[in-house]
């Protein structure tokens, strides 16, 4: 388990991480989510002793990382997949890791197989690796010592869709076997699909945390997108209940909670083929919570280019 207690890190007058506290539990994947510059990497660097905190502390399994003997056997870390000697081959990097941790050489082949780096690729130097290959090697390195805790900064960076799916499965399995996983991302969809718990950070401060369900609980939207086999019939039924309805795409937009639409459809025995909340759910929540920390404030978005007639549509 990872415990972050009142962690603050300042650089001069600038506060990169501001009184951050959270816990990552064994058997759970915890997603650490926030816009660029929010303080994710800084927090993770403090976790593994690469950056000193200004105040507060982080413990892993009750110990400071620096106090853990042979830490690679307990904590797998991937912060920057390029932060390896560029002239070494993938196999050499893993072999050095295995020797440092006192692991048998066979572990290197096992890990290369697990991350699908073939023999030829393993013999290539890191400087000639593609971004995704570096990332795979980094994941292999993190898992080398069969640790019980994983700390991964943007692990999906550079992976292709199949690679992202593979990593998702890998981390879920790892947590199912009792491992603790903390992974960061600035991409909500990436985290949403894999994390059991989410911690949202903006400008160095935690702005929300909890399970996906808990985070969404307070954001019940009051509009639904719905498609029925007979949209006209559904529109009439909804209007009869006083709900405002408008055509939208292949279906309707109803100004009420999705559950109300479902209820009306059930009462009238209308077959629905699609029903969902019209709000962006987590994405809206994420954007609103980190609004003042986003670089792209809505007002600053460049407007659409004017048309030939000089009028914006």
Ligand X SMILES: Nc1ncnc2c1ncn2[C@@H]1O[C@H](COP(=O)(O)OP(=O)(O)OP(=O)(O)O)[C@@H](O)[C@H]1O
Q: Shortest gap between Cβ of 155 and Mg ion (angstroms)? A: 12
Per CB under 6 A, the list member of 30, 31, 41, 47 interacting with ligand X is 41
| Secondary structure in 3-state letters for 5-22 | EEEEEEECCEEEEEEEEE
Q: Please name which of 298, 299, 289, 301 lies closest in space to residue 34, comparing C-alpha atoms.
A: 289
From the list Mg ion, ligand X, none, pick the one residue 180 interacts with, judged by a Cβ distance below 5 to 8 Å according to partner type.
none
**Cβ-based nearer residue to Mg ion, 40 or 212:** 40
Q: What are phi and psi of 171, to 5 degrees?
A: -70, -35
Range in contact with ligand X (rule: CB under 6 A) among 32-40, 189-197, 243-251, 266-274:
32-40
Q: What is the phi-psi region of residue 302: left when phi exceeds 0, alpha when psi lies from -120 to 50, beta otherwise? A: beta
Contact status: 40 vs ligand X (CB under 6 A): yes
Distances, alpha carbon 245 to alpha carbons 29, 232, 239, 242, 249, in Å = 40, 10, 7, 9, 13
Number of residues lying near ligand X (CB under 6 A): 11
- Cα separation, 290 vs 274, in Å, equals 30
From the list ligand X, Mg ion, none, pick the one residue 231 interacts with, judged by a Cβ distance below 5 to 8 Å according to partner type.
none
Q: Which residue in the block uniquely carries the two structure tokens 């404030």?
A: 297
Tell me 85's DSSP state: -
Contact status: 293 vs Mg ion (CB under 5 A): no
Contact status: 131 vs ligand X (CB under 6 A): no
**Cβ-based nearer residue to Mg ion, 154 or 197:** 154
Range in contact with ligand X (rule: CB under 6 A) among 35-43, 63-71, 159-167, 225-233:
35-43
From the list ligand X, Mg ion, none, pick the one residue 49 interacts with, judged by a Cβ distance below 5 to 8 Å according to partner type.
none
Contact status: 42 vs ligand X (CB under 6 A): yes
Footprint (CB under 6 A) of ligand X, residues 94-123: none
Contact status: 16 vs ligand X (CB under 6 A): yes
Both tokens of 222, joined, read: 């009051």
Per CB under 6 A, the list member of 24, 29, 33, 34 interacting with ligand X is 34
- Cα separation, 190 vs 251, in Å, equals 28
Q: Please name which of 213, 208, 164 lies closest in space to residue 34, comparing C-alpha atoms.
A: 208
- Burial of residue 190, with CB atoms counted within 10 A of its CB: 0-12 exposed, 13-18 middle, 19 or more buried: buried
- Cα separation, 100 vs 311, in Å, equals 66
Range in contact with ligand X (rule: CB under 6 A) among 30-38, 72-80, 252-260, 278-286:
30-38
Q: Please name which of 240, 271, 239, 266 lies closest in space to residue 253, comparing C-alpha atoms.
A: 239
Q: Shortest gap between Cβ of 13 and ligand X (angstroms)? A: 11
- Cα separation, 217 vs 303, in Å, equals 34
Contact status: 203 vs ligand X (CB under 6 A): no
Binding mask 156-195 for ligand X (x = CB under 6 A): ------------------------------x---------
**Cβ-based nearer residue to Mg ion, 41 or 89:** 41
- Cα separation, 199 vs 4, in Å, equals 12
Binding mask 29-68 for Mg ion (x = CB under 5 A): -----------xx---------------------------
From the list Mg ion, ligand X, none, pick the one residue 37 interacts with, judged by a Cβ distance below 5 to 8 Å according to partner type.
ligand X
Distances, alpha carbon 291 to alpha carbons 176, 186, 205, 213, 280, in Å = 34, 14, 13, 21, 15
Chain contacts with Mg ion (rule: CB under 5 A)? 40-41
């Amino acid at each position: 388990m990872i415990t972050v207690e009142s962690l603050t890190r300042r650089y001069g007058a600038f506060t990169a991480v501001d009184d951050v506290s959270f816990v990552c539990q064994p058997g759970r994947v915890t997603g650490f989510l926030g816009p660029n510059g929010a303080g994710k990497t800084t927090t993770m660097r403090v976790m593994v002793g690469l950056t000193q905190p200004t105040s507060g502390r982080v413990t892993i399994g009750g110990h400071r990382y620096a106090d853990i003997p042979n830490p690679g056997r307990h904590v797998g870390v991937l912060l920057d997949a390029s932060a390896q000697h560029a002239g070494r081959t993938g196999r050499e990097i893993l072999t050095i890791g295995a020797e440092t941790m006192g692991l048998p050489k066979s572990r290197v082949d096992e890990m290369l197989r697990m991350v699908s780096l073939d023999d030829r690729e393993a013999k290539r130097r890191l400087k000639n690796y593609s971004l995704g290959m570096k990332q795979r090697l980094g994941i292999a390195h993190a898992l080398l010592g069969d640790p019980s805790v994983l700390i991964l900064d943007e692990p999906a960076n550079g992976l292709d869709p199949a690679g992202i799916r593979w990593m998702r499965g890998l981390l879920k399995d790892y947590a199912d076997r009792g491992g603790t996983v903390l992974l960061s991302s600035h991409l909500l969809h990436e985290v949403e699909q894999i994390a059991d718990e989410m911690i949202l950070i903006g400008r160095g401060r935690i702005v929300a945390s909890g399970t996906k369900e808990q985070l969404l609980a307070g954001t019940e939207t009051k509009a639904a997108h719905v498609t029925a086999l007979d949209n006209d019939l559904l529109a009439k039924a909804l209007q009869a209940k006083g709900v405002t309805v408008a055509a939208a795409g292949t279906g309707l937009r109803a100004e009420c909670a999705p559950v109300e639409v479902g209820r009306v459809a059930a009462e009238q025995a209308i077959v629905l083929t699609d029903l969902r909340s019209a709000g962006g759910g987590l994405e809206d929540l994420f954007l609103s919570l980190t609004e003042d920390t986003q670089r792209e404030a809505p007002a600053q978005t460049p407007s659409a280019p004017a048309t030939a007639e000089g009028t914006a549509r």
